[in-house]
Structure 1
Amino acid sequence: MAPSSDRMVPLLLTLLFLCLGGEAVDRSNFKTCEQSSFCKRQRELKPGQSPYRALLDTLELSDSRITLQLINDNNKVRLLLELYRLQGNMTRVKINELKPIKPRYEVPDVLITDPPTEPMTLVAQDENGVVLSLGVDEQRLIVNARPFRLDIVEGPKVLVSLNSRGLLAFEHLRLRKDTISHKITSTVGSMWDSIKSVFSSKHDSENGGGSENEEQGEDEDIQPVKEEDDKPGMWEETFKTHSDSKPSGPSSISLDFSLPGVDNVYGIPEHADTLKLKSTDGGEPYRLYNLDVFQYELNNLMALYGAVPVIISHNTERTMGLFWLNAAETWVDISSSSTGNTVLGKMMDLVQGSNEAPHTNIRWISESGIIDVFVMFGPRPNDVFAQYASLTGTQAFPPLSTLGYHQCRWNYNDQVDVKAVDEGFDEYDIPYDFIWLDIEHTDGKRYFTWDPNKFAQPKKMLQGLMDKRRNMVAIVDPHIKVDSGYKIHNDIRSKSFYVKNKDGGDYEGWCWPGSSGYPDFSNPEMRTWWASKFAYDQYEGSMENLYTWNDMNEPSVFNGPEVTMHKDATHGSWEHRDLHNIYGLYVQMATSEGLIKRSGGTERPFVLTRAFFAGSQRYGAVWTGDNAAEWGHLKVSIPMCLSLGLVGISFCGADVGGFFKHPGTELLVRWYQAGAYQPFFRAHAHLDTPRREPWLFGPDNTALIREAIRQRYTLLPYWYQLFYNAHRTGQPVMRALWIEFPEEPETFAIEDEYLLGRDLLVHPVTDEGAKGVTVYFPGKREVWYDVHTFQKHKGAQNLYIPVTMSSIPVFQRGGSIISRKDRVRRSSACMENDPYTLYVALNPQGTAEGEIYIDDFHTFNFEKEKQFIHRRLHFSDNTLSSSNLDPDSKFTTAAWIEKVIILGASRPTSISMKTADGTESDVEFEFDSATSVLTLRKPGVNAGADWTVLLK
């Protein structure tokens, strides 16, 4: 019997998708800079030939803002520069057309608030420039008039220069020459005058007017600009079979930044490449354009699924950040050179000694929008993270269960299959918290539905998991099957919530369901409606232990240019080109809000997204997309997640085992061992791969995988504490070594090991057949303890550590206290009230510090009602104590302290415990002189109580 046409669609689409990539990514499906007309035009500009100068007579200074007009002497078009000094040691620079023929896109919904400002004062001004005081740490802003340039200095040092290479370029919106005559026809002239009048009034009222002078009279203002309007790609562009119309013509922007004394820059994820960014001299720039890249290649700068336009610079003296707030396609060039002169004339005395210092140049190029950049001055790494968090928010605090192990594949076949896999974990004594369902669980790829034959009783399935205190994630993608019998589609169409094509009809493309519409998630009404669909009475079969996965939200369009949406599609008054990179954030935002609303605002959500942008950390987790079962993909998962952590996205992981292909047993085991020490821990596999549940590779490998997963579960208290602190402060969970050791150049390029928080050093085994790893132990005054053997190693050295297949090299920092739960059960929820073991690792001074954080593990009550326990653990002078870090908090727990293990200890004669009510009792202990490990057994105090342990 021939398959129905509805059932043929997934097969045909799978074949189409495979043809897009073959065995690996087909680079010809994705543009190079040379094939992206605006990137090519911008890169053709030569340094040192800036046409822009500052019109100093237009300078206006308020307490917290300066405005200043810039003029392009080649075409007489004016720009408006706004500069704000922000609280927290940041500066914001915005540059827009003074009088555009229509508004240019300014990215909304990313900043969590209008950033508070601080005063600036005028220090000096003459015909060559202006000097302003920024009010902190001797910082000065120097404006050089001809050519325009901004320098921010601190004392004698230049921190950053804008347009020092003269690569500011602003393609102004214009009417095409062939639509107007030299004197402008009456029809077009009337339209032009109306538009000009409206926007001149708007800008004059917003910006206090703008003085016209001889250099831009009224006649020049309305005449067509004498420029080349016929370069390829300016008004329309073709890539393969796709045409991109550009009704407003070229609109790209560019600005260069110079960072004196900086050799190390990081960030701008997502790329499958090194942690430390490379020079792009003579090669392709880094590309930021959210794309569905099938089986991506390693070690290239092609765009992937997400884009965060943030670069972190670092040297031994200072860490800074640049946040380029633009959601259009963006290219980033990075190069090194020497500084040369910084400013002219009498201002040179401010920057003596800076000439010819090595430094890094960064150039941002975006297709549309405005220049809106935040300079974050640190000076320490943690300061930059706090500054960025104050702008875009912190990592969402996840439910504890989501920090456990996740089992996924495309696809578990039916409810019987789900039950069998769930029972397999119990049979083989392997803990897990989530089982996942991919697209095949739906009724014909209609999201918010269940296949009526394979998943006929979803609530029964979910209840079975809930009875074991486990959970499920089901996929909900943002492409909607065009089907008149599908209520979701009908509702979106009737409300006109779909993205439109350039002719005004609903935009349609091909994705997994076949012909699909794409909801306009930039529309707040659409997001509110989408959120309502997760209500239990709307999403039939859903329950409180069902969470959500947003895939394909770049958005992926199989038959679109570069496997994504046409840039001339429209979202209300904006083109898709203006906001492409923020689409995925909006999908995750609406989904997260839906999960919160379904519980009446009580429960914390969990949403995994593939596409992301600055601010996505507020809404859930990210994974590194469609990787492959290869050793190189295991290796690159580390720098990819470290890069995400640098830009605020801490909840990151890679598909354990690799999505494509089938891993050998050694690779699979090593990937489980690495994944157990990355923030998001999920195994996932392609539809066409053999099954890979953890017990399918023989008893020896099952035991190794079981042990890796169990190690994850013992550390859940530490993971949870790290995520709580990330949510409060913006500090990354998974950290590059230089974050904690910023003055140690040996750490600056390390990407095969990392820190979890401050205190756990992890060096996964990522080489086939490895007999050992070379671990760099940072810190000249540090000691590090092997968490398995308790062997102590001194810092500031490379050390070869032998490994076997059971080895996961992990080391605890001397001077730290880490809480663990050494009794592992079948899920995290089953361990909630289990006792804690404290691992106290003494530094050379015999002290240690740590925290313990406890709440109900799943609601917002920790924020709304301060229902949590947050305690300081401190060891010094042979005394270990627990004290309350937040006296206003209120929460009780049944969990208690079962054991204390002190590493690097001496043998005491006796140990006593004193509680808050003054009760004192002896504590049993053992001392291992070979390892200098002291073990205190059953101190028996509540984990939320005040207590003191005295070693005598």
Structure 2
Amino acid sequence: MAAIAAPRLLRAVPIVVLCSLLLHSTQHVLAFKEHEFKKCAQTSFCSRNRNVPQGANFEIIPASISLNTATLTATLLNKPYGKHLQLTLTSHADGFVRLMVDESPSVGRYQVPSDILISGWENKKQGFTENSRTASSITLTTGETKLELNFQPFTLAITVKGQPALQINSRNLFNFEHRRQKQDSDPAGYWEESWGGHTDSKPKGPEALSLDLVFPGFQHVYGIPERATSLSLRATNGAAPYGEPYRLYNLDVFEYLDDHPFGLYGSIPMMLAHKKGLTLGVLWLNSAEMFVDVVKERGQVGSQWVAESGIVDLFVFTAGSPAGVLAAYARLAGPSAMPQLFSLGYHQCRWNYKDEADVKAVDAGFDTHDIPYDVLWLDIEHTNGKRYLTWDSSLFPSPAPMQLDLASRGRRMVTIVDPHVKRDPGYYVFAEAEAAGHYVKNKYNTDFDGWCWPGSSSYLDVTSPAVRQWWAQQFTLDRYSGSTPHLYIWNDMNEPSVFNGPEITMPKDNLHAGGVEHRDTHNLYGVYYHMATAEGLQLRGQQADPQDGDRPFVLSRAFFTGTQRVGPIWTGDNAAQWSHLRVSVPMVLSLGLAGLPNVGADVGGFFGNPDAELLTRWYQLGAYYPFFRGHAHLETQRREPWLFGPEATARIRAAIRTRYSLLPYIYTLFRAANTSGQPILRPLWFEFPEHEELFAVDEEFLAGPAMLVKPVVAPGVGQVEVTLPGGARWYDAATGALVPPAAKTKSHRVQVTLDAIPVYYRGGHIVPRRERPRRSTAAQAADPLTLVVALDEQGGAEGELYMDDGRSFAFQRGGYLHRRFVFRSMKLVSSAQQVPAGGVPEGTLTLPVSIERVVFLGLPPSRRGYKAVVGGSRQAVPLEAGPLSLVAAPGAEAALVLRKPDLPVSHDWEVEIVAV
């Protein structure tokens, strides 16, 4: 949830009035207040660097160059100031090069801590080969990457696989502001800056940096989330609002606009550039406030990145392909955490389910209407006066039995826990943390006091490992009274949100452990809070099961690089508008391209009241979000899935059941994300990287490699245009019917009804499904599987199935099954999936699960039909015309089905298809 009232008003009212205002303000005043957030021109460090050519001032001193196998070091001179910088260029075997620029270590500029990345990558280096050296430049190669470092002025050109890929400082926009002593002649904003009634003391003075990155020959760049805008980032030198640079600064933004460069709740300073034959990625590991300009001209994309503080720590991912870039990023920042299976089911949330009777009624409603779900959520009203890790005893007198009752039907509960701690000496969390000195300090080095939902609040300094360790201990069953092993956590407001702070967040001159200013660590705060909470649930799980534990589930709103290793996020406080439904697609895709694939948007919109059509279309799309949750604001009308009439209920039920039928496939996709960093939802160009006509498409997407989804994002629509990439076969996922093949990408006009959105299977892929309707993922555990075999032009198909216990870390010890299915030469073969280098081999896990149906799409016509010969028995079973799924509409008979072959998932087998 977002802050509701304006910060200036909050400062002027007593706390009792404040609470009333926050909880009872009317919806018509809720709107994006752009004037309450800063733009580049109102920000000293951005305005003095944006589009200011200063890069010619920086030169490499040739005599300072030292090349030691995989590392080049050199002195970079800032001529007007006579100041030296240390430049380091390193080649890493994991598919990236690293450029660092810093002052002397004695200056002590802030660098993002190593725990944001995974360990071990620093030691995996790949040597440089020196190709040439002159008085003006040095040229190096490493693998298929060539680097040309020019001295006067300093520039760096990178070529990958023979193609120009990246130019640094080619437009002379590089800059590095050195630490300095205050001078009377310093311009306004250098040492103190005021805005919106707040003054930032800026005790270290100006220390901004500007990076000038040009992508030659590229027309499209993606990433730098989070914002509600197109997938292919628009130029920021155009008309409003795109005359403003993209901003990376985690903020609590309510009712954000649906097409705007403004930054939202999280930041990942990563950008991908893509063109035919080449994909490149860049990550500037810097957690300070940052602005990014994008300029498209002369057949290339230019970008300027301006950060308030820190150092240049730039990683350039040179693998060359979309999958290769994200795999290299995962080897640096870590892959996505393997989620618990229940967390991939449907989640029902509202601010707020008011008491235990309400919880019981909502839970029963799902069973009454035969709608599956897995998790029921409680927002802040469940607590004792906004004291987190407590319960309102009048509303929730028996929290543990309530959770156990849900668990008896295979369901879980989530409660909200935010980073602000009510300043109440009688509240044990506040008192213990205060006594231990665990809070963020203000500029006077006393505990910072900010206002949030409880009123006067302190904020845990989670940048400190000791504080994170203490916070983790609060989630054990003996500490979190009323909790059970079936309870999981939601971290909201962790940007952090401070209602009476500048831009509804923490002052930049607040102090963290070691005297670090908040300006340096702002974008890290949310991920550290997320980490500490997840560590708490992991600690709880280890106490119950020391060997294998319990995978944590913690949802976060704020995020940064590394969040993917912790848990999912969502796109924040959206609105019940068609435009927000539409923009959720590029938002989710952008996050996946930035290495954070476990993400969703609030189904139905957080603010406002969707009608039945909008809500239905949102569920039909939401069934494919990696994280699938319905959520709504306190003052919206109730919108449980059965409250919009029987026809809408039936459609929403079908959408949610579709999600559950696809969970074997989705869980397998998450295993790929967990091992190689691949996104769950993918833009079309990710799988078809040579198709230039797809590079800007962002209203449809691929779920993994095998399914294409076209949401319906406008009301009253009877037909939509579907873009199907050429050179592939596509089958209607509702009927199994083959779309007439086309060599080139083609737009198809497709009729739609309110019953479903267009979805297609891609030829050449095998998709595992579970067809039987159940109430939860737990109830599905022993259900048999269906394999959908969609053939390509050569009559082949491949697919995978990953399974484990769905909850513990036993998979890290080999407690999993990973099967590979291949259909070639009319034979379907199941075998163990090859383990990637360095992976843990599959163990001896045996699951009593079989395959009850194999559905073939695209078998060539046979006058007498086909039969299947299963294993070595040579007993032939006829294939029958039938529906693609057990719940398909009558008359959908485009598939050929092998029924009840009883093929064990845990073993190898072979099925031969023979024409009769």
Q: TM-score range by the shorter chain?
A: over 0.9
Q: Distance in 2 between matches of 1:697 and 1:842?
A: 40
Q: Distance in 1 between matches of 2:751 and 2:449?
A: 56
1:682 equivalent in alignment to 2:629: yes
CA apart distance, 1:928: 6.0
Q: In structure 2, which of residues 142, 151, 158 is the aligned counterpart of residue 135 of structure 1?
A: 142
Structure 1 match to 2:84 = 78
1:816 equivalent in alignment to 2:765: yes
Q: 1:823 to 1:368 in 2, by over 3 A?
A: same
Q: Deviations over 1:757-791 (max 9, x none)?
A: 100000011111111111000132x1111111112
Q: Distance in 1 between matches of 2:638 and 2:382?
A: 17
Q: Distance in 1 between matches of 2:842 and 2:280?
A: 35
Q: In structure 1, which of residues 883, 888, 897 is the aligned counterpart of residue 851 of structure 2?
A: 897
CA apart distance, 1:155: 7.0
Q: How does 1:502-521 map to 2 (within 5 A)?
A: 502-521=443-462
Q: 1:876 to 1:398 in 2, by over 3 A?
A: same
Secondary structure, in 3 states, of the residue corresponding to 2:115? coil
Structure 2 match to 1:758 = 705
Structure 1 match to 2:823 = 875
1:791 equivalent in alignment to 2:737: yes
CA apart distance, 1:8: 5.8
Please tell me whether the aligned partners of residues 904 and 932 of structure 1 are also in contact (alpha carbons under 8 angstroms).
no
Q: Deviations over 1:792-840 (max 9, x none)?
A: 1125211011001102211000111111110010001100100101111
Secondary structure, in 3 states, of the residue corresponding to 1:410? coil
**One-letter code aligned to 1:489:** F
Q: Deviations over 1:635-665 (max 9, x none)?
A: 0000000000001111111001000010111
1:406 equivalent in alignment to 2:362: no
Q: Deviations over 1:404-438 (max 9, x none)?
A: 10000000000110000000001011000000000
**One-letter code aligned to 2:830:** S
Structure 2 match to 1:235 = 191
Please tell me whether the aligned partners of residues 89 and 136 of structure 1 are also in contact (alpha carbons under 8 angstroms).
no
Q: TM-score, normalised by structure 2?
A: 0.93
Please tell me whether the aligned partners of residues 883 and 946 of structure 1 are also in contact (alpha carbons under 8 angstroms).
yes
Q: 1:6 to 1:39 in 2, by over 3 A?
A: closer
Q: Distance in 1 between matches of 2:690 and 2:36?
A: 43
1:309 equivalent in alignment to 2:269: yes
Secondary structure, in 3 states, of the residue corresponding to 2:693? helix
Structure 2 match to 1:944 = 906
Q: Distance in 2 between matches of 1:496 and 1:307?
A: 29
Q: Deviations over 1:35-73 (max 9, x none)?
A: 0110001015137x6211111111111111111111111
Q: Distance in 2 between matches of 1:619 and 1:870?
A: 23
Q: How does 1:703-852 map to 2 (within 5 A)?
A: 703-780=650-727, 782-793=728-739, 794-795=741-742, 796-852=745-801
Q: How does 1:189-208 map to 2 (within 5 A)?
A: none
1:281 equivalent in alignment to 2:223: no
Structure 2 match to 1:353 = none
Structure 2 match to 1:109 = 115
1:577 equivalent in alignment to 2:519: yes
Give the greater-gyration-radius structure (CA).
1
**One-letter code aligned to 1:926:** E
Structure 2 match to 1:211 = none
Q: Structure 1, unaligned stretches of length 5 or more?
A: 179-228, 339-357
Q: Distance in 2 between matches of 1:901 and 1:681?
A: 27
CA apart distance, 1:105: 3.4
Q: In structure 1, which of residues 31, 35, 55 is the aligned counterpart of residue 38 of structure 2?
A: 31
Secondary structure, in 3 states, of the residue corresponding to 2:252? coil
Q: Distance in 1 between matches of 2:746 and 2:623?
A: 26
Structure 2 match to 1:93 = 99
CA apart distance, 1:131: 2.0
Moved beyond 4 Å, runs of 4+? 5-9, 907-910, 928-932
Q: Structure 2, unaligned stretches of length 5 or more?
A: 1-13, 543-547, 835-840, 884-891
Q: In structure 2, which of residues 510, 517, 535 is the aligned counterpart of residue 593 of structure 1?
A: 535
Q: Distance in 1 between matches of 2:112 and 2:153?
A: 26
Q: Distance in 1 between matches of 2:845 and 2:344?
A: 22
Structure 1 match to 2:131 = 123
Q: Deviations over 1:468-512 (max 9, x none)?
A: 010111001111000000000011111111000000100111000
CA apart distance, 1:593: 0.9
Deviates more, 1:542-551 or 1:112-121: 112-121
Q: Distance in 1 between matches of 2:622 and 2:430?
A: 38
CA apart distance, 1:925: 3.0
Q: In structure 2, which of residues 279, 284, 309 is the aligned counterpart of residue 319 of structure 1?
A: 279
Give identity over the alignment, percent: 47
Secondary structure, in 3 states, of the residue corresponding to 1:594? helix
Q: How does 1:170-185 map to 2 (within 5 A)?
A: 170-177=176-183
Please tell me whether the aligned partners of residues 30 and 254 of structure 2 are also in contact (alpha carbons under 8 angstroms).
no
Q: Deviations over 1:542-574 (max 9, x none)?
A: 111111100000000000000000000010221
Q: Deviations over 1:136-172 (max 9, x none)?
A: 12x3322211111111235764321111111111111
Deviates more, 1:143-152 or 1:726-735: 143-152
Q: Distance in 2 between matches of 1:896 and 1:766?
A: 38
1:247 equivalent in alignment to 2:195: no
Structure 1 match to 2:321 = 380
Q: Distance in 2 between matches of 1:438 and 1:497?
A: 25
Please tell me whether the aligned partners of residues 107 and 327 of structure 1 are also in contact (alpha carbons under 8 angstroms).
no
Q: How does 1:402-441 map to 2 (within 5 A)?
A: 402-441=343-382
Q: Deviations over 1:94-151 (max 9, x none)?
A: 001136644433443221124321111333223222222x2312x3322211111111
**One-letter code aligned to 1:313:** A
CA apart distance, 1:15: 6.0
CA apart distance, 1:77: 1.1
1:527 equivalent in alignment to 2:468: yes
1:561 equivalent in alignment to 2:499: no
Please tell me whether the aligned partners of residues 914 and 920 of structure 1 are also in contact (alpha carbons under 8 angstroms).
yes
Structure 1 match to 2:811 = 862
Q: 1:427 to 1:84 in 2, by over 3 A?
A: same
- RMSD over aligned Cα atoms: 1.7
Q: Distance in 1 between matches of 2:355 and 2:15?
A: 19
Q: TM-score, normalised by structure 1?
A: 0.89
**One-letter code aligned to 2:738:** K
Q: Distance in 2 between matches of 1:102 and 1:872?
A: 52
Q: How does 1:910-949 map to 2 (within 5 A)?
A: 911-915=867-871, 918-927=872-881, 932-949=894-911
**One-letter code aligned to 1:126:** T
Structure 1 match to 2:563 = 616
Q: Distance in 2 between matches of 1:660 and 1:154?
A: 46
**One-letter code aligned to 2:823:** F
Q: Distance in 2 between matches of 1:584 and 1:104?
A: 18
Task: Give the number of equivalent residue pairs.
Answer: 870
**One-letter code aligned to 1:29:** E
**One-letter code aligned to 2:76:** L
**One-letter code aligned to 2:132:** A
Q: Distance in 2 between matches of 1:13 and 1:507?
A: 22
Q: Deviations over 1:255-299 (max 9, x none)?
A: 101111011100000010000001112511000000000110121
Q: Distance in 2 between matches of 1:761 and 1:934?
A: 21
Structure 1 match to 2:8 = none
